[in-house]
Amino acid sequence: MLDINTKQLKKNAFRITKERGKTAVRIRVPGGNMHVKFFSVIQEIAEKYGNGTVHITTRQGFEIPGIDMKNMPDINKMLQPIIDGLEINQEAPGCGYPASGTRNISACVGNAYCPYGNYNTGELAKKIEKAVFPHDRHVKIAVTGCPNDCIKARMQDFGIIGMTEPQYDPYRCVGCQACVKNCKKRATGALKFENFKVVRDHSKCIGCGECVIKCPTGAWTRSEEKYYKLVIMGRTGKKNPRIAQDFIKWADEESVIKIILNTYEYIEEYIDKEAYQGKEHIGYIVDRTGYQEFKKWALKDVNLGPKAEVAQTINW
């Protein structure tokens, strides 16, 4: 006889499946990078309790299907080394994941080894995870190293895109125009060649850093500060799917994290209390209250740096 609280089960990062009595457990891997030693745990669970397979999720976690619901307590115990190893915030050891609403923070490989990466995406993903998890509110966050957006940050509620502010040393510039041509072809055409030197139009520059990569003499270098573009309220799904739009350009890391935390307070204030199963995605709340109200809450006590540019309005 199974008597299962499905709300609890879902909160615990298990899921209801097609097959009665069977569940699947989701393992979160913030930043999408982990030591391979944890594979043996996944393997053991899948072989002993599951159907011998594992699904690699779109959010860069693992989901082990075919588990008998009655074995959930055992699974939670077995998961403990992964939860500890990946430093996931937990309420009680041995009880598995304390929430599932706020999804795994996914990340592209970033500057760990991608030449285009403007920062360490894995580290930021872990920092955000530490700040926001556990939380029941359904929020999707992803971080990506540069505007190539390999992680598809623009499909998230919050997408964080790495930027650098290129620094130009006219003395080192030989006028080959590699940066100018490349910016035009592959980025935004923010560079112009004038009087044998390069002029950057900051309003057009997306901070991808490609000019730094292309310059053969090191005339372009990266800014000491790292900057981020925060794009918001992208979504997939049935109702009105859409791409996330630019909220803040040239933001700093601390502000980005604070804004995300503020958003949880905004959700508590405005979430539709009648919503199906108490779940309403943040994007739909912003649709209801309007961008200005969201902005007011999001920016509460946030000290954006002098370079930051906040969108006046957003039309998704």
Partner 1 sequence: MGFRMDVERFDELLTELQKNYRIYAPVLLKGKGRYSETDTIRYAEINSIKDVVFDKKSVFSPKEVILPITQTLFYFTEDNVIEPKVDEKNILIFLRSCDIHAVKRLDEIYLRNRFADSYYAALRTKVKFVLMECEKSFENCFCVSMGSNRTDEYDLFVRLEDGKVYVESKNETFDGLFKDEENAEVSPKFVLENETVVKIPENLDQRVFKSKMWDEYDERCIACGRCNFVCGTCACFTMQDIFYKDNPNAGERRRVWASCMVDGFTDMAGGHSFRKKYGERMRFKVMHKVYDFNKRFGYHMCVGCGRCDDICPEYISFANAVNKLNDAMKEVE
- Provide the binding-site residues for ligand SF4, judged by CB under 6 A: 108-110, 114, 116-117, 144-146, 148-150, 166, 173-179, 183, 187-188, 190-191, 198, 200, 205-211, 214-215, 217, 219-220
Which option in partner 1, ligand SF4, none does residue 94 bind, with CB closer than 5 to 8 A by kind? none
Shortest Cβ 291–ligand SF4 spacing (Å): 26
Of the pair 16, 150, the CB lying nearest ligand SF4 is at 150
Q: For ligand SF4, which is the closer residue by CB, 190 or 233?
A: 190
Interaction residues for partner 1, span 2-41 (CB under 8 A): none
Q: What are phi and psi for residue 31, nearest 5 degrees?
A: 80, -5
How many residues are present in the chain? 316
CB 258 within 8 A of CB 234: no
The partner in contact with residue 120, picked from partner 1, ligand SF4, none with C-beta cut-offs of 5 to 8 angstroms by kind, is: partner 1
Sequence-distant (6+) residues with CB within 8 A of 14 are 23, 24, 25, 26, 67, 69, 72
| Closest CB to ligand SF4 among residues 45, 108 | 108
Minimum distance between the CB of residue 256 and partner 1, rounded to whole angstroms? 17
**Is the peptide bond prior to 134 cis by the omega test (within 30 degrees of 0)?**
yes
- Structure tokens, 107: 């990340």
Q: Which helix (H) or strand (E) holds 227?
A: strand 227-232
Restricted to residues 236-255, the positions that interact with partner 1 (CB under 8 A) are none
Nearest distance in Å: CB 124, ligand SF4: 12
Q: What does 210 interact with, of ligand SF4, partner 1, none (CB < 5 to 8 A by kind)?
A: ligand SF4
- How far CA 54 is from CA of 23, 44, 131, 297, in Å, comes to 13, 11, 28, 40
Nearer to ligand SF4, 14 or 227 (CB): 227
Q: What is the 3-state secondary structure (H, E, C) of 69-89?
A: HHHHHHHHHHHHHHHHHCCCC
Picking from 35, 61, 48, the residue whose alpha carbon sits closest to that of residue 142 is: 61
Phi, psi (degrees; rounded to nearest 5) at 81: -60, -35
List the one residue out of 48, 103, 53 whose CA is nearest residue 77. Answer: 48
Q: Which of residues 180-219 bind partner 1 (CB under 8 A)?
A: 195-196, 209, 212-214, 216-218
Burial of 270 by CB count in 10 Å (0-12 exposed, 13-18 middle, 19+ buried)?
middle
Of 214 and 307, which CB lies nearer to partner 1 in the complex structure?
Answer: 214
Q: State in angstroms the smallest separation of the CB of 170 from partner 1.
A: 7
Q: Which residues in 69-128 contact partner 1 (CB under 8 A)?
A: 111, 115, 117-120
Q: Which residues bind partner 1 (CB under 8 A)?
A: 111, 115, 117-120, 145, 162, 164, 170-178, 195-196, 209, 212-214, 216-218, 221-222, 224
